[in-house]
Amino acid sequence: MRQFLLAAVAAIGLAACASSPKEVVAPPPTSASSAGVWAYAYDAGPGIATAVLTGADNQPLVRLACQSPNGNLVITDWVFSRVRQGDAPATFSVGAQSKQITARIAGDGAGRQALVITLPSRDPMWNALSPSAPVTTTALGFTHNWAPESASRINDVLNSCRSLGS
């Protein structure tokens, strides 16, 4: 009787394993498109603008700011929060123009990581900046397609960065 029960339990276990679908591990995504709302602020004291793209969860996705005193544009992209920290080769594209740079992936002090890119405000790539130009950042095999209006917000912030000099 005992052998019969063990055989029955084993048969039920095998049948359950055979009938349940195997869990398929999906590869990590290679790109993401952001959506959200851009907020723009201008500090008249130093004459510096900042723009922040906030997602539906009220977390910042992208921040654009000027670096004082040289006027460089600093881009902080939190969509890269799943990648390892350190320096990484990156490509920043706006419209048909691209620039390859070394970006830094670092913690922001709030428990999140971000890809940080610094670009000169007078870089020739900004000549391709039109209000509808697509904007992307790519690093470590991952691409972030920025939300609509991104090129316009870059232009807004660049105007204040250029006034600082560069």
Residue 112 in this model has a pLDDT that exceeds 50: yes
CB 75 within 8 Å of CB 92 = yes
Q: Is residue 159 part of a domain?
A: yes
Q: Is residue 95 part of a domain?
A: yes
Q: Is residue 7 part of a domain?
A: no
Structure confidence by residue, pLDDT tens digits, 139-150 = 988 899 999 899
Section 104-126 average pLDDT: 85
Q: Please give the Cα distance from 55 to 147 (Å, whole number).
A: 10
Q: Is residue 8 part of a domain?
A: no
CATH number of the domain enclosing 118: 2.60.40
According to DSSP, the β-strands at 113-119 and 37-43 are: unpaired
pTM, full prediction: 0.77
CA angle centred on 105, ends 101 and 111, rounded to 5°: 160
For residue 80, the enclosing domain spans 31-164
Section 73-97 average pLDDT: 86
Q: Is residue 96 part of a domain?
A: yes
What is the length of the chain? 166
Q: Is residue 101 part of a domain?
A: yes
Structure confidence by residue, pLDDT tens digits, 27-68 = 456 778 888 899 999 887 777 889 999 998 999 999 999 887
pLDDT of residue 63: 94
CB 114 within 8 Å of CB 129 = no
Residue 73 has what DSSP assignment? E
Looking at the 3D structure of the chain, how many domains does it have? Answer: 1
Q: Is residue 15 part of a domain?
A: no
All residues at 6 or more sequence positions from 133 whose CB lies less than 8 Å from its CB, including other chains: 94, 95, 151
Q: Is residue 121 part of a domain?
A: yes
Residue 137 in this model has a pLDDT that exceeds 90: yes
Q: Find, among 141, 100, 153, the residue nearest to 123 by Cα.
A: 100
